[in-house]
Homo-oligomer: A and B are copies of this chain.
Amino acid sequence: MPTCLINGHSSELISSYDRGLLYGDGLFETMAVVDGMVPLWQLHLDRLHRGCEKLHLACPAPNELQQEVEQLASKSDRAIMKLILTRGVGGRGYLSPPVPAPTRILQFHPWPELPRSNWETGIKAIFCAQRLARQPVLAGIKHLNRLEQVLARAEWQDPTIQEGLLANTEGDIIEAVSHNLFIVKENGLVTPDLQFCGVAGVMREYILKLVMEKGISVQIATLSRQDVLAAEAVFLCNSVHGIWPVCELDGKHYQQNDLVYALRDAVAQMIPYP
């Protein structure tokens, strides 16, 4: 069984002249595999398309991608799949080649061992000092320029802390290092605006749709540090973990919240937790 496909061929190696390495000139998707399938496949594909449009990159044919995903995923009841798409080799410095030959990388990762308590009682988070730069052109898409996240994640080594929240340069809270953020306020949800920075997570989108269908009020708004600390509840989400309630943030403890648990359970029907 291959664990990595490069342009459809079993290999782990790419050219060191690939623009994905030279400039971070590309995109990625990190996807949960459940029973040989990617539950949020269409949302991942839609975001990849949006990223391709922003970067003027040709998107691979969906059926070709799906075939490769199935080839790697078919034998797994639980796994993580990472798709990386780069502009490939070539061009003159930053100038893209006239007809780029994109590199398509699909990596299979075993499901990570994580404590059940992350879902049950919730996780402990901090505020990171690292700020997210304001760059509307790159906001929302999942591109390969991720040094801000690498530097933010380097801020703590304590294994009891699972996540760090990131603010933009104005101090508004945008997201966590590898998750999007929601708060509960007056029985409704609020999640930060991602127009100027942050990744528009596929699970965030799924949750937005889910709560709107359920008639729960939800706002996309600017959230200060104080708004997050004063919230009734806070939760984080991504397409691999589903929903993690936050039980402690920067020393502040949150009470258990029925809405958060109901949403967590709804998502867990699609991506079960351990």
Contact = CB atoms under 8 A, between A and B. Distances in A.
Contacts of A13: 13-16
Given A15-B12, A24-B146, A147-B24, A112 B84 contact: no
A152 interface: yes
A215 interface: no
Interface stretch (A137-145, A203-211, A224-232, A252-260): A137-145
Contacts of A250: none
Interface string A73-90: 000000000001011000
A82 to B, nearest CB: 8
A60 to B, nearest CB: 16
A28 interface: yes
Given A4-B16, A13-B13, 13 more contacts: A6-B16, A12-B17, A13-B16, A16-B84, A18-B21, A19-B150, A24-B147, A131-B135, A131-B137, A133-B134, A133-B135, A134-B134, A144-B147
A137 B153 contact: no
A154 interface: yes
State the oligomeric state as a number of copies. Answer: 2
Contacts of A14: 13-16, 21
A199 to B, nearest CB: 12
Given A14-B14, A94-B177, A135-B133, A146 B21 contact: no
A170 to B, nearest CB: 10
A178 interface: yes
Given A20-B21, A21-B14, A138 B147 contact: yes
Interface of A: 4, 6, 12-25, 28, 55-56, 84, 86-87, 92-96, 105, 107, 112, 130-131, 133-135, 137-138, 143-154, 169, 177-178
Contacts of A154: 56, 95-96
Nearest to A169: B134
Contact of A153 (B15, B18, B93, B107): B93
A23 B20 CA distance: 9
A28 B24 contact: no
Contacts of A134: 133-134, 169
